[in-house]
Every structure is written in C-alpha cells, then in structure tokens.
Structure 1
Amino acid sequence: MKEYMGAGTEAADIWAAVVRGGRLSCQTAGVLTAIALVPGILTHYVLPRVENVCWKIVLGAELLVTSILYVASFPYYRQFHANFNQLMFNAANDDIVALFWSLVQEFYLPVRLAVACVLAFVLWKVAVAFVLRWQGPRLTFVSYFPWPVRWAARACALGVCYVVGLLSVFGGSLGWETGVDWENAGVTKDDFLNEAILDSYQAVHRGYVLQNRMLACNGLDFTVEDIRALAALHAGMEPTSDDLDTYLRHEAAGAGLGRQPSHVFIILSESYANWPLLDKYQGLHIADGMRSVIAEDDSDYCPTFLPNGASTVSAVTGVVTGFADANLYLTTMPESFAEPYPTASAPQFQKLGYTTNFWYAGPATWERIGAFTQAQGFEHFYSRGDYGDVPGSVWGCEDEVLYEKILDGLEAAGDAPSYNVILNASNHSPYDVDVDEKGFDREQVRAALPAEAQGDEHLLTELGHYWYADRELAKFVRAAKAKYPDSLFVIVGDHGDRYNIDKTPTTYERYGIPFVITGQGVHKGTLLADSAGSQIDIVPTILELIAPQGFEYMSLGTSLTTTNRQGVNYGFWITRHAIGKADTVPLVEEPIEGDMQPIDQQAMQDYINAIRRCGEAGRERIKKRRLQRYATSSLPL
C-alpha cells in the first residue's frame, strides 16, 4: 500500500514506524500471551490430560481473530483512510443485512475470510511446533547442574519474565514515562504510517475507548457561563439570558428571492464530493451534469463547504435537526423521539405553509431514519418499501427510480407546496449499478487518469457511479424545473472522504462537498462571494431566501447569503481560502488554492466552540425535559 504514503516519506520514516509499532505491539503480545497461558495453567493443575488441547484451542482462536483483523485492515484503510476506528461501532446501528451483502459484493468477504483462515492455520501449525519443541524433556537438562546453577537459571528466567512483563505493560518500555500507547504512537510525518503503527488490536482498542468516551459524556468541559458567553458571541448579542432559544432565534430579512417558491428541495447526494467539480478534474467528464447546472444563470455555487460528519447519518441529523455533529447518533437516542428540537427544519417550513416530505432510497429501518424524521416533524416519509419492486442495491433503489417516484408523488399530492429532503444511495458500495450499460464511457475516463491509476478497474467503477449520480441529479433538477418552474433546489453531498484519484489527497479534496443552489430568482452573487459553511447552514440560507421579512426561525447555523464566511464540523474548519483541523492549538491553516488569507485565530476558535457547545446544550435541554416529564408521571424512567 505504498501508494498511500505521502510525498517525501523516506526510509527513516518507515523504520521509525516499524520500531514504534513493534514497541506498541508488545502490549498486544503480552495480553494475547496471558490469555493463552491462563487456561493452560489452570488445566495443568485441574485437568492435566486436556492441558495441551486447551492451549492449542485458545492459541488457534487468537490466531484466527488476528488473521481476520489483519486481512480486513487493508480494505478498511482503502475505504476510510484509517486503521480500525470508532466507525466500526456504528455498524451496531446500521442495516446489518445490507452491510453484510456490501461486504460480500464489494470486498469479497468469502475470499478474504478464506485467506484469513488459511493464514491462521499456517501460523497455528508453526506456533504449536515451536511450543512443543521447547516443552518437556528438552528443558530437563538444567536438572543435571548443581543447585546454585539451577537457582541462578531460575532467577534469570524470572528476571526475563519481569522485563517482558514491563515491556508488555508499558508498550515496549520499562516505565510509564517512556511508554508507547495508541494516543502517542503517531510519531511520523505521514498519516498512513501513523495508522500502520497501530496493530489491529490497538486500533480496535482505540475505537472502543473513543466510543465509550462519547457514550460516557457529551464531550463538554464548559460551564453554563461559558456556554452563555459563546452563544451570545455567536449570535452577536449581549449575554443577558440563560434561555438558549434567545441566542438561536433569528428574524428573516425578507425573501431574498422576492417570492416563496412552490417547492423546496434539499438533495443529499451520497458520497457526492466536491473534488470532481474542480477545474483540474474537468477532463474526467464525471461531473458534467452539475457543471452545466452551475453554469446556468439561475444558479450559484459555493465550493468551500463541509459535511456535518463523516457518515450519511451525520448529514441527515444536520439537515433534519440543525445541530452540528458531535459523534452522537441522534437517530437512535431516545430524546430525539420526544419532540422536535427547536432548530428542527420541518416544523419551521410548516409555518410557511409547506407539506414536509423526506424521500429516502433505502429502507426505513436504516438508522431508524423513518421514525426519526417523523419524530422531528416530517409529515411524510417515503422509503424503498414505498416504491415497489425496483432495481437497486442492498442500500437503496437506483437514483433514476427515486427521482421518478418523487415527481410522481408530488403530482399525486396535488402539487401542494412542499419541503422535500432527498437522500439517494446509488453512489455507494457495492457499486453494482451497471454504469457501462447506462452510458458510462469507461475508456474516456481511463485515458484522462494518471498513468498509475489507469489500470485500477475498481476506481473506474467508483468514478462511474459518481458520473451516474451526477447525471441523474442534473436530469432530475431539469425535469422538476420544467414541471415546477418556481421551485428552489439545494444540492450538497452527504459527505466526501470515500475515494479520490490521489491516494494522499489534500484535506480540501478529501473532505470538501459542493453547495449548489438553483431555481427561479437565484443568480450569480446570491451567495456571498467569500461564503463558506457546513450543512447546518443549509436551512437558514433557504429561509433567508424564501421567508417574509420578520419571519422568526430557530437556527444554530447562519445564511450563506448574508453573513456566513466559515464552516465547521466534527473535525475541521473551512473558509474560502483555507482549511484545517478544528482541534489543534493553534489552528493550522492549509491553503485551498492560490494565496492564503490568514484567519483570525481567536474568532475561528470561538466559532468552533460556539457551534459545538450550543448544539450540545440544545440537545441536552430536550433530554432534561424528557426526564422531567417521566419524573412527574407514573411511567418508570
């Protein structure tokens, strides 16, 4: 996987990773050894006849798990650009059946599992032969020496065990001061090598610890006074109230479009990254559909936009609830079903007279999305089960089918004014849409790729699915405009960070998603020339365009038409000229293109803190209200 190493990575970096990883894996080896020894020792004294059988079984189980994790780590890194991490535990909330078939079809689960089993068997045979070689009579030669020699040998053996034990406990060191663990292991300048330092068990442990940290607390270390000050700073007000609603309340300046459109569409397009829309990739011709939409006079485009989180469910919660992502699964948390959050989008559009619809290509049970969106105020939810026997993958029907069903559904509803959130699924593993049959020019795209990528058929298939999603998206926008000419459309990706041509993409190319707005009344300049944002800014942007003057709405985000010049999410911030990680002190700026304009460090840090903490405080308030209702009722908590 050397192609994932960054430019400038040298042999010294690789050696540093090997040494650091070897030290860290002393911990793993110690734990595995203890697990293998304990049953053997117990049976030695209780059931000596089964001692060998017992430790052989335990050793085999350990090697099988180790081999499976090792083999799985390769496709996992290719998919997520990371060793095993917290995303592993999201699978518990995912559609297990769809996930299984995706693993079978895209990642060849049976083949990889068979390889892991063969590897484990070979290692087991070697390990058993090694242990048996040094067992029993081969060590009895010590008994022929005088007792001082025997005791010296035992003392040396105990000393060796003691040193090995220290190395195991302290990660290749003799004390905690110089010990290595997963939190301080990444010592190289290369992201790939820093992930490779963690063996599979250490990577799983890291994900487990982070997951439990998230579940154990809301991640805040802020007082009420801190939150009040941040909320006031974000709202541009004096910190005079302890009611969070005071700081989330906005009044529309007046319909920026000069009218209220008949239909509003927010399209969350699966894995629809921004990088194919950049000029440097124009020769691929996989984003020609959206390029043509952006070029129209009634469209505007912000190229500096961030997803709410690393997965689709984060995008859903951002648009549905208006809250920034904090690695919390709102779709499965009980308080999300008590009542809509104050910043939820559907109730606010209902106040403007819209029927609210959520259209999903997949099953309603995925992440409890059907129940969640309706609990958050959507009047209608449509999913795979409502579309009949239609083509698609385990994750959902094909995009062209979804868009056809949406237009048919709006017509059946009598074309009543509607607010529609659309979540498609075709640009997703197992990438089984027959894009070649649908017109994808594979050879044209291959010729436009760098020489080292031209033989990567899987990458070409992924790019073909982006092309298909882009084409069908543009077709839907044009068809809906023709049918409902006074409608408004917002197109964004649900997230990026799934595949790139460059194995070591820039932060901007890896994580950025597009923000495209189009419809009657939109023009070049509708969005601020230096606008930037994230998915929590989508709804306030729309409301400032369509709501009458004085219309009151609740929002953590702000409009890209009036004030918003920065975006922030779970891990990154962005402006029109720079991007960086949100958790470094000081914030490190990575230029997007051309000359980079320095950011105001304090202002950006305040914005990051305000978005995260105010969102957390809003969710916590709903939770407390729910607990208070239970406490005063006859229902058990």
Structure 2
Amino acid sequence: MKITFPARLSWENFHTVMLKGLKVYAFYLAVLSLFRLFFIVYLHDYLGPASGTSDILMALWRGSRLSMQTAGCLALLSFLPSLCLHYLWPRAERWSWRVMNFIVLAVLAVLYAASFPFYRQFRMNFNQMLFTGANDDIYALFITMIQQYWLPVRLAGALLLAYGLWRLLLAWLRWTPVETRLRTVCLATPVRWLGRLAFLGGIYLAVLLGIFGGSLGWQTAVDWENAGVTKDEFLNEAILDNPQAIYRAWVLNSRMLACNGLDFTVEDIRSLAAVLAGRQPDSDNLDVYLQKQAQGARIDKPRHVFVILSESFANWPLLDKYKDIPIAAGMRALLAEPDTDYCPTFLPNGASTVSAVTGVVTGFADANLYLTTMPESFREPYVTASAPQMEKLGYTTDFWYAGPATWERIGAFTQAQGFDRFYSRGDFGDVPGSVWGCEDECLYAQILAGLSDTPGFHVILNASNHSPYDVDVEAKGFDKEAVRAALPPEAQADEELLRELGHYWYADRELAKFVREVKDRYPDSLFVIVGDHADRYNIDKMPSTYERYGIPFIISGRGIHKGTLLADSAGSQIDIVPTIIELIAPKGFAYMAIGSSLTTVNKRGVNYGFWITRQAIGKADTVPLVPEAVGGGAPPAIDDQAMQDYINAVRSLSWWRPKYGPLLDAALLKDR
C-alpha cells in the first residue's frame, strides 16, 4: 500500500518553508555585513595609523563569520513561528513572518543608529555601560538622549531604514532561484533526489555555520571573545555586530553580578594580603592586613578638607602638548602656585562616576561588585570607609552632590557609610542645570554658604561637564573661536567636540574660583582635586592609553609644596584618603586602607582594567603585562611579578572584604 502525506507535509511544502528560512538567513547576514562596512567607513577617523586595507578586510571577513551566528538567531525568530503556523494555521503564516521580520529589522536599525554616538562616547561597541545605565536615572538618560543625541530624529531615521530593509526583504523572498525553477521541469528521479540531498546539505551547512560562527566545529568557532584579531582597537570593536556586542555586555555584567570574574581562593587572598601589607601570611582576618599607622603629620591640621570629584575631568588638557588650547587656565594657574603639588599619573577607580564615589567613600577598588546596591553596604560602614576615619581626626563629614539623591542610591549609600550629612540638588532650590545636576557655580555657592568654623571633611561631586552639555558656556565667557583656532585642522570643524571642550573650560574655571574663595575665607584648608573618570572625549581620535584614561591628582593648601608628593608617585582613587591621613594625622594614628599614601610609598596605581606608574601604563589583565610609555617612546621595563601581585592583591581584597567580611573562610565560597 502506498503511503501518502497530507499536502502540508509534502516535500514541496517543506522545501518552500526551508528555502524561505535560508533566504531570510542570507538577508540578515548581508545586512549585518553592510552595517559593519558602513560603520568602518563612517568612523574611519578612529582607525589607527598603522591599519591598512588588509586589516579592514580581515575585520570584515571575521565579522561576517561572527554575524553568521547572529543571522541564524535572527532568522529563527521569524522562521520558527512561521514554520509552526505554516502547518497549523496556513492563513496566518503570510502576515506572521512579515510582522516578525519588521520587528527584528526595526530593533536592528535602532541599535545600529545608537551604536555611532555610543562608540564616540565610550570608544567601544555596546558594553557594560548599558547595564550600569539601567541602574542610573532613566529620566535623565532619556532627556540626555533627546537633547544631545537627537533621539526623535535618530529614531525616525532608524525606522525609515528598517522599512526600506523590510521592503528589500519582501522583494528578495519573491525572487525565485534557479533551483526552484528547475523543479518545474520533468527530471529523472535520481536527479530529483540528488537535488533534494544537495538542498538538505545546504541547510545542514547553514546550521553549522550559524551555530559555530562561520566554522564547522567548535575548535575553530568565532565568538565575541576571540573575534578581535586585528591590531586596531576600532576594527576589533567593529567586528562585533550590535547583537553580539550586547551579548558580550550581558555576559560580562552577569559575571560581575555573580563575581565569577574573580577566581581567588582563600589561600590566594591571604598570601596577597600579606604581600600588600609587607608581613607574613599569619592570619585569616583580613583586617589585620589592612591596619596602618600614620607616620606623623606633614602639615598643620587644616580647618577644612575638600575632596573634589570633578565630572569627566581628564588629565590630558593639563599636559604640555595641549597648553596652547585655552580650556584649563584655572588648574594650570593653581598648579603654578607654591602651595600646590600634582601627580600626573593617576587612575580613576572605574569607568563610571559611581566607581569614583565608591572608591572614595569605601576605600575599595572596583572589583566586580556593585557596592551601591549591595545589602552589605547598608548595614554599617566598612572598616576602610573614609567618613568614620576622618571623624576620628575631629572632622564632621558631608557629601555634596549636584544631582538627585536617588541616583545610584547615592544619598542612602553615603550616609550608610558614615557621612553625617548628604546634600543634593533637592536641597538647593530652583537652580539652573541639566537633568544630571545643577551647574557647578550653583553647587559651589551652596557649599560656600554652608561652611562654618567647625572642622569639616567635604566630598564634592559636580556634574556640569556631562552630557547633554547644555550649559550656555559662550554666554559665560567661553571663547569658542580661540579654542577652535588652537585645535588641529582636522578637529576645527567638530562642533560637538568644541561644545565638550567648552564644558571642560567651565568646570575648570568654576573649580579654580571655588578654591580661591575658600582659601580667602579659610586659608588653612586642604584641597584634593581629581576627575571622577576620563575616557569621554579627546582631541585625538586615537589617544594613547595614558591620555584616554588618566585623571589629575592635585593637592593644594597651606603647608603643601612642590615635592610633598613623591617625585615618582602614581596611584588611583583608593589612595586619596590614605594620602590625606598621612598628611594630617599624628604619628601612630591607626587607620584601615587598601590604598596607600602618595607622600610615602605609593608609586603605582591600579583600577578595573589598567595599572600605572610614573613611566608606564598598561592593561591589567594581560600575562605578561605589556607596558606602554606614559610620555611616548620605547616602553620601560617593569617588575612584572610585583605589579601582578599588587593588581591581584587590590582586586582580591576589594572583592572579598565587602562581600564576605573580614574572615577568610572557604565555606563562604560554596554558595557563590
């Protein structure tokens, strides 16, 4: 008896559905590849000078292989519902894949439109900042996207692009390939079966390429972790299509939340803590290794101590090579004063403002923990927290923030970590500013009005030098044309860069003015000035690692002089409070810190991804470490093992102590 299948289960129907799926797969691969090509062409200014045609071709080829995986996933999103409906509800199939594909294309187009300003801001394809932003002020982010990045216009353009691509997809699906036309010709049975086998073989090949990222097996598979094979950082980022970049960000963020990015045993941490403390590994209590004693005050005790975290206040405008660009006159004048010293080799605690806050407030380095959301951070101040230790020296403590108290739970967090008072924009009344905070001059005016003769430790976080860069700096005196004339010819037409530089100028001017006014009223004050981070804008499209990530460390006040800081000092934000304590505390004063003072011993800094000395900088996660000269030229030699030990000690202690407490107990890791 001859067995027949229902029409819906015939070879012809199977062939039709699978061919449609293959064509959708090929279309998405073409779209992702063309997106990559245009991205490289449009942002070609970010290409390294040593990158040539072969590097670009390599990036395009490697990226297309990786996008085979992405295209396969996107095709499945439309193919699987259509496949089910084809056999269960044929009438619905026609509109289902049309709707699904338009949705997929719309999402792709919106991500693509967003990737250009994102790269310009962070020099990366989509990264963990997406998830950091999820904890940020969503309303402020939304307003910023409208004001600075023209969200409605970009969104409209993205949807128009999606519609055009969708129409192309419809036309592509209507096109009949030769293989299909041959099926209408009477062919011998063996030939038909050979054709069917070839078709099935094509499906099998497409599935393998989609699963293994342009390869036929896992041994040679391309994924986001091994895709960047060129010597150019921009091209390595361009290799990742937008969905792959978001997947990378999600994986890295998941590792951070699970602390899987740090794999230290208790034995490792004990040994590293001992190395950091310069003693034997003879205790399972980490606090033993964190104990320090001040060597004796180097200056008279100041009336007020200010730590100013200035938004996006990078160090590069203070370098000699940029001295003719008039945006940093205030800090340059301060650096020329005899009561001021300066360390030009200093790193932020992390890539975002919240990392700077946690570094100064808790004394911990950025080590895959989101301290402002951890329940442990709200139980009691950590032993390394700055406010309680400054209170022991006789200071009241307050934190001043230009923005809202709800941002990153900063109000609750700082007070939970021991600050007596917290002030934010809600305390200042109706003052001008952006969604991120009031203008710097308004913040400093509030602080000046709140000062009294009572000794105080004040941490200040301003916000004006932040997107959407909407301070009317020209009305405040910014000479845009003088800055334009001082820029390299290739940068003079960049209006967005000029607006950003204008906000650096404004932050610099208001900061210098604030320091002068406080010194006039309380000449016995001490100032520590740092950026919260850099890495937002540079004049050079391809800045050196040092120029891209470095922030200034400026210390000023009565008793400070050139040479107060070690001549070869370097550090990061966890070293700020130890430096202050060693300047003002009496001999024998006991305090807790992971960092150390730039006045006594500290000649190296480390943060979430980099290390620095007076002569060199490099990535912290390479083995061996690869130094890059701070001032250019041949890279200097470093003690690789000593630096590796320091990096691992800072990270491991900053990971274990806030999460698990002072006692090293392997049983605590079982619940990770």
Smaller-chain TM-score bracket:
over 0.9
Q: Distance in 1 between the 2:637 and 2:178 partners?
A: 70
Deviation string, structure 1 residues 124-152 (Cα, Å, up to 9, x no partner): 01101221333999658447333322222
- C-alpha separation between the residues in 2 aligned to 1:615 and 1:168? 40
Which residue of structure 1 lines up, in the alignment, with residue 91 of structure 2? 49
- 2:186, 2:94 → 1: CA distance? 26
Counterpart amino acid of residue 310 in structure 1: A
Q: Return the letter of the residue paired with 1:201.
A: P
The alignment partner of 2:474 has SS state of coil
Q: Which of residues 421, 445, 456 in structure 1 aligns to 2:494?
A: 456
- Tell me the secondary structure at the aligned position of residue 577 of structure 2: helix
> After superposition, what is the alpha-carbon deviation per residue over 1:437-463, rounded to whole angstroms, capped at 9, x for unaligned?
000011111011000100111100100
Equivalent AA in structure 1 for residue 277 of structure 2: A
Q: Deviations over 1:250-279 (max 9, x none)?
A: 11111111x211110000000000000001
**1:7 matches 2:78:** no
Contact 1:300 1:524 in 2 (8 A): yes
Give the 3 Å change call, closer, same or farther, for CA 595–212 of structure 1 in structure 2: closer
Q: Is 1:108 aligned to 2:150, yes or no?
A: yes
Q: 2:232 aligns with which of 190, 204, 207?
A: 190
CA distance in 2 between counterparts of 1:188 and 1:223 reads 35
Contact 1:341 1:622 in 2 (8 A): no
Partner of 2:480: 442
Aligned to 1:338: 379
Q: Partners of 1:370 and 1:165 in 2: how far apart?
A: 52
- 2:198 is paired with a residue whose SS is helix
SS for the counterpart of 1:264 is: strand
Q: Give the one of 612, 630, 639 matched to 1:600.
A: 639
Deviations 1:161-212 (A, max 9, x none): 0011111111111111111111110111100000000001111111111111
| Structure 2: distance between partners of 1:484 and 1:384 | 25
Number of the residue aligned with 1:540: 578
Whichever residue aligns with residue 587 of structure 1, its letter is L
Among candidates 653, 660, 672, match of residue 614 of structure 1: 653
Taking the aligned partners of 1:498 and 1:55, their CA distance within structure 2 comes to: 41
Counterpart CA distance in 1 for 2:178 and 2:217 is 34
Question: How is 1:219-238 mapped onto 2 (pairs within 5 angstroms)?
Answer: 219-238=261-280
Amino acid at match of 2:328: A
2:255: which partner in 1?
213
Kindly indicate whether the alpha-carbon contact (under 8 Å) linking 2:257 and 2:368 is maintained by their aligned counterparts in 1. no
Counterpart of 1:504 in structure 2 is 542
Query: Does structure 2 retain, via aligned residues, the 8 Å contact 1:335–1:622?
Result: no
Answering whether residue 609 of structure 2 is matched by residue 571 of structure 1, we say yes
Contact persistence 2:627–2:636 (CA under 8 A): no
* Partner Cα separation in structure 1 for residue 137 and residue 533 of structure 2: 19
Residues 237-636 of structure 1 mapped to structure 2, 5 A cutoff: 237-257=279-299, 259-411=300-452, 415-593=453-631, 597-622=636-661
Q: Select between 125-134 and 288-297 the one with higher mean Cα deviation.
A: 125-134
Hey, what's the Cα distance between the residues in 1 that align with 2:186 and 2:416? 79
Deviation of 1:153 after TM superposition, in Å, equals 1.5
Alignment of 1:104-183 (within 5 A): 104-134=146-176, 141-142=183-184, 144-183=186-225
Q: Give secondary structure in 2 for the equivalent of 1:516.
A: strand
- Distance of 1:22 and 1:113 partners within structure 2: 26
**2:250, 2:180 → 1: CA distance?**
42
**Secondary structure, counterpart of 1:144 in structure 2:** coil
| TM superposition shift of 1:363 | 0.3
Render the CA deviation track for 1:418-437: whole Å, top value 9, x for unaligned: 10000000000000000000
Contact 1:331 1:368 survives alignment (8 Å): yes
Compute the TM-score of the two structures, normalised by the length of structure 2.
0.91
| CA deviation string 1:570-596 (max 9, x = no partner) | 000000001000111111010012675
**1:236 alignment partner AA:** G
Which letter does structure 1 place at the counterpart of 2:301? Q
In structure 2, what is the Cα distance between the partners aligned to 1:73 and 1:88? 12
Structure 1 letter corresponding to 2:571 = G
TM-score for both structures, normalised by structure 1: 0.96
- The one-letter amino acid of 1:606's match is D
Q: Alpha carbons of 1:137 and 1:19: their partners in 2 closer, same or farther (altered >3 Å)? A: closer
The unaligned stretches of length 5 or more in structure 2 are: 1-42, 668-672
- Report the 3-state secondary structure (helix = DSSP H, G, I; strand = E; otherwise coil) of the residue aligned with 2:528: strand
Three-state SS of the structure 1 residue aligned to 2:148 is helix
Q: Tell me the secondary structure at the aligned position of residue 527 of structure 2.
A: strand
Once residues 389 and 261 of structure 2 are traced to their aligned partners in structure 1, the CA distance between those partners, rounded to angstroms, is 29
Counterpart position of 2:6: none
CA contact (8 A) 1:267 1:490 kept: yes
Any conservation in 1 of the 2:306–2:528 contact (CA below 8 Å)?
Answer: yes
Answer yes or no: is the 8 Å Cα contact 1:143–1:150 preserved in 2.
no
Deviations 1:198-257 (A, max 9, x none): 001111111111111112225332221211111111011111111111110111111111
What amino acid is aligned across from residue 488 of structure 1 in structure 2? Answer: L
What is the alpha-carbon distance in structure 1 between the residues aligned to residue 469 and residue 179 of structure 2? 59
Q: Which amino acid aligns with 2:94?
A: N
For 1:227 and 1:187, the matched residues in 2 are separated by 34
Aligned partners of 2:402 and 2:462 also within 8 Å: yes
2:123 matched residue in structure 1: 81
CA RMSD of aligned residues (A): 1.7
- Code of the aligned partner of 2:377: S
Cα distance change, pair 58–473 in 1 and its aligned pair in 2 (3 A): same
- Over 3 Å counting, the alpha-carbon distance change for 1:458 and 1:255 in structure 2 is same
Instruction: Tell me, in whole angstroms, the C-alpha distance in 1 between the residues paired with 2:262 and 2:658.
Output: 13
Q: Distance in 1 between matches of 2:146 and 2:78?
A: 32
Indicate the residue corresponding to 2:31 in structure 1. none
Asked if 1 retains the 8 angstrom alpha-carbon contact of 2:349 and 2:365, the reply is yes
